[in-house]
């Protein structure tokens, strides 16, 4: 375990649910359609830790990240930040937003094409009235650019997003997120739209930030091997619930949940593997608006039992910090 991670808990999520009401007809005779994007998710994130939320589309991983940042309404459950519950009250929300930031997936869409780099990175300062004088503002932006590896910073201040490459834009995004010295960052697939040779430099940058400032990351991705590479812990999500959570190495090498195992088995490894038996799960992730009892995965699970469709499995300890929700697993 990294000794950068302290015991202090930065973000605590307890039984969070995010439901979207998609059938707005008030006079519908049949039940209204509800999409259970996040259906009871709980985890802690420590200071300096990187936790990955891994899942396919429909797993609820992105919605979880956005909900913690209050960018989508939380239906029920609690989110605590640095010990205090995150409230919707304007002043408290603003204070929270200064210390909790987001990094987006698409470097081409997450920067306003009509603003120059200086204005884009300085925006968090402007919005929170922390910019100071013109000189101070520029100084802060320059140092953010330098930390993000865009040197010399003066070269970039007055350029526009369309003049930068994908990798450079993503660095601008990181600089913008780091300028407020946040405690917590939600990174939503931050490298999936970048070329392979550029990804590593952005990942290194993120780790450098963590090492320097102790910021914690919630890393959202569909790529399990990427999650293994960068995170301390991994949580596997399916249809709005966490199936298994534990140290990255453990999840990959000793995953217990059938879904985790299915994902690790199909993980491509660079190398010649022509005769590898690719045991693939049938079907696709079902619709999140269909009501389900029991384990969310039982429809596709190769080892499902009768109990699985009736009762939801609870979390059981499989090792230090390693929890799994599966009826097939019994604690030793």
Hey, which residues between 225 and 264 contact other proteins (CB under 8 A)?
Answer: 225-226, 228-230, 248-249, 252-253, 262-263
From candidates 151, 200, 213, 293, binder to other proteins by CB under 8 A: 200
Residues 89-108 that bind other proteins (CB under 8 A): 93-94, 97-98, 101-102, 104-106
For residue 77 the two structure tokens come to 């459950």
The span of 7-15, 29-37, 123-131, 132-140 binding other proteins (CB under 8 A) equals 123-131
Residue 9 or 207 having the CB closest to other proteins? 207
Per CB under 8 A, the list member of 266, 290, 306, 317 interacting with other proteins is 266
- Are the CB atoms for 65 and 218 separated by under 8 Å? yes
Q: How far is the C-alpha of 91 from the C-alpha of 85, rounded, in Å? A: 14
Is the CB of residue 236 less than 8 Å from the CB of residue 243? yes
Q: How do 84-85 and 50-54 pair as beta strands?
A: unpaired
Element holding 63 (H helix, E strand):
helix 61-68
CB of 263 to other proteins, least distance (A): 7
Q: What are phi and psi of 157, to 5 degrees?
A: -50, -45
Smaller CB separation from other proteins, 15 or 89:
89
Instruction: Examine residue 117 and tell whether it contacts other proteins (CB under 8 A).
Output: no
State how far the Cα of 203 lies from the Cα of 78, in Å rounded to an integer. 30
Decide if residue 33 touches other proteins (CB under 8 A): no
- Give the strand pairing for 241-247 and 233-238: antiparallel
Q: Give strand pairing partners of 246.
A: 234
Least Å distance, CB 203 to other proteins, is: 5
**Which residue lies nearer to other proteins by CB, 227 or 323?**
227
Which CB atom, from 112 or from 213, has the smaller least distance to other proteins?
Answer: 112
The residues that bridge with 218 in the sheet, in sequence order, are 51, 186
Per CB under 8 A, 131 contacts other proteins: no
Where in 137-156 is the site for other proteins (CB under 8 A)?
none
Task: Please say whether the beta carbons of 158 and 55 come within 8 A.
Answer: no
Joined tokens for residue 142: 């320059």
**Size of the chain, expressed as the number of residues it contains:** 332
Residue numbers 154-193 binding other proteins by CB under 8 A: 160, 162-163, 165-168, 176
**All residues at 6 or more sequence positions from 169 whose CB lies less than 8 Å from its CB, including other chains:** 107, 108, 110, 111, 161
312 near other proteins, judged by CB under 8 A: no
Residues numbered 67-86 forming contacts with other proteins, rule: CB under 8 A: 69, 71
Which residue, 138 or 262, has its beta carbon nearer to other proteins? 262
Q: Which of 4, 9, 34, 115 binds other proteins (CB under 8 A)?
A: 115
Do 153 and 70 touch, CB atoms closer than 8 A? no
Binding of residue 124 to other proteins (CB under 8 A): yes
- At a CB cut-off of 8 Å and minimum separation 6, what does 135 contact? none
Is residue 278 within the footprint of other proteins (CB under 8 A)? Answer: yes
List 199, 257, 296, 322, residue binding other proteins (CB under 8 A): 199
């Amino acid at each position: 375990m990294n000794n950068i991670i302290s015991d202090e808990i930065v973000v605590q999520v307890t039984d969070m649910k995010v439901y979207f009401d998609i059938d707005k007809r008030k006079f519908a005779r049949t039940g209204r359609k509800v999409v259970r994007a996040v259906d009871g998710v709980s985890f802690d994130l420590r200071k300096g830790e990187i936790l990955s939320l891994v899942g396919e589309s429909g797993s609820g991983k992105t919605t979880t990240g956005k909900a913690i940042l209050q960018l989508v309404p939380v239906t029920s459950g609690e989110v605590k930040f640095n010990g205090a519950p995150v409230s919707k009250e304007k002043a408290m929300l603003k204070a929270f937003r200064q210390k909790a930031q987001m990094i987006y997936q698409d470097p081409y869409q997450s920067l306003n094409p009509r603003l120059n780099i200086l204005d884009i990175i300085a925006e968090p300062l402007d919005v929170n009235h922390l910019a100071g004088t013109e000189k101070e503002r520029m100084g802060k932006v320059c140092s953010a650019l330098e930390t993000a590896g865009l040197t010399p910073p003066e070269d970039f201040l007055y350029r526009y997003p369309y003049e930068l490459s994908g990798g450079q834009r993503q660095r601008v995004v990181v600089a913008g997120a780091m300028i407020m010295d946040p405690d917590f960052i939600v990174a939503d697939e931050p490298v999936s739209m970048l070329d392979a040779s550029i990804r590593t430099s952005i990942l290194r940058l993120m780790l450098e930030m963590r090492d320097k400032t102790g910021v914690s990351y919630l890393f959202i991705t569909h790529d399990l091997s990427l999650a293994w590479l960068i995170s301390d812990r991994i949580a596997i999500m399916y249809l709005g619930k966490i199936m298994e959570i534990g140290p990255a190495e453990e999840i990959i090498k000793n995953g217990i949940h059938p879904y985790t195992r299915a994902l690790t088995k199909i993980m491509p490894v660079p190398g010649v593997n022509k005769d590898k038996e690719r045991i693939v799960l049938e079907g696709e992730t079902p619709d999140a608006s269909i009501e389900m009892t029991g384990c969310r995965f039982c429809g596709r699970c190769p080892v499902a039992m009768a109990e699985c469709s009736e009762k939801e499995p609870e979390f059981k300890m499989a090792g230090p910090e390693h929890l799994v929700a599966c009826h097939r697993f019994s604690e030793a």
